[in-house]
Amino acid sequence: MTRLFICGLLLLAFVACKNHDKTTNEEVHTIEDIVITEDTTEVIEQKTDYLKLLTDNPDYSSDGFDFPIGKPNARGYYNAQKFQENDHLGDDWNGVGGGNTDLGDPIYAIANGYISEVKDYEGGWGNVVRIVHLHNNTLYESLYAHCDTMVVKANNFIKKGEQIATIGNCNGNYYAHLHLELRDAVGLSIGGGYSSDTTGYLDPTAFINKNRK
């Protein structure tokens, strides 16, 4: 009787291990050498949705990029803190008059795309607009921070050169300027604005100059 009981326990343990292996294999999938777990599936699905959305609406695919201020060539502005200067993850665009002389100046979409987020992050970010772009079959995301007013709403298409916001000073935290980021990883968290690790981030000015129409 004891021997039968022990055999039964061993059989149950074997079945449990097999089921655990099966569950683990079902939770991890490989797509083009990228291992996707349950934690990252939502991000991948979001990228897929944007790709389909912009592919199905080709009029809003990017045909080139321009600067977000003084359109199209940033006339009247200068890049006060360039990409990776002091580990900066974007470009800080200031009016040549300095101080708050550019407060309330218009900010424009740098390319055709889809407005994915319009949100007040408060703190050091303030009002933020994010736009997803499809350019040469690749998704990119532009981020415009410290805005004073935002004149667009999320979940809408937009054309290059259309106004999206005005330059702000983040409720007096800084002199007025636009913090612009350009990312080749769509759907990242807001981030910290500074890092020596540039994974997922691009040099905005270099990219715009390379991809002018």
Q: What mean pLDDT do residues 196-200 have? A: 97
Q: What mean pLDDT do residues 76-80 have? A: 98
Q: Would you state the structure tokens that stand for residue 80, as one six-digit string? A: 């006060």
Q: Has residue 172 got a pLDDT over 50?
A: yes
Q: What is the mean pLDDT of the chain?
A: 84
124-to-21, 40, 179, 185, 201 alpha-carbon distances in Å = 46, 27, 11, 22, 19
Q: Has residue 36 got a pLDDT over 80?
A: no
Domain 70-210, second-level architecture = Distorted Sandwich (2.70)
Q: What is the pLDDT of residue 179?
A: 98
Q: What is the pLDDT of residue 65?
A: 98
* Vertex 194 angle, CA 130 and 62, to 5°: 30
Q: What is the pLDDT of residue 46?
A: 60
Largest Cα–Cα separation, the chain: 93
Q: Has residue 12 got a pLDDT over 60?
A: no
- Report, in angstroms and rounded to the nearest whole number, the Rg of the chain calculated over CA atoms: 23
pTM: 0.79
Domains in the chain: boundaries? 1-27, 70-210
| 10 or 172, higher pLDDT | 172
Provide the pLDDT confidence category of residue 47 given band limits of 50, 70 and 90: low
Owner of token pair 């699905």: 45
Indicate the SS3 state at residue 175.
Answer: coil
Q: What is the pLDDT of residue 40?
A: 40
Q: Give the helix ranges, DSSP H, for the chain.
A: 2-27, 38-55, 204-210
Owner of token pair 């079902």: 26
Q: Has residue 30 got a pLDDT over 70?
A: no
Q: What is the pLDDT of residue 213?
A: 79
Q: What mean pLDDT do residues 33-41 have? A: 34
Of 23-32, 97-106, 124-133, the one with minimum mean pLDDT is 23-32
Q: What mean pLDDT do residues 97-110 have? A: 97
Q: Which amino acid is at 139?
A: L
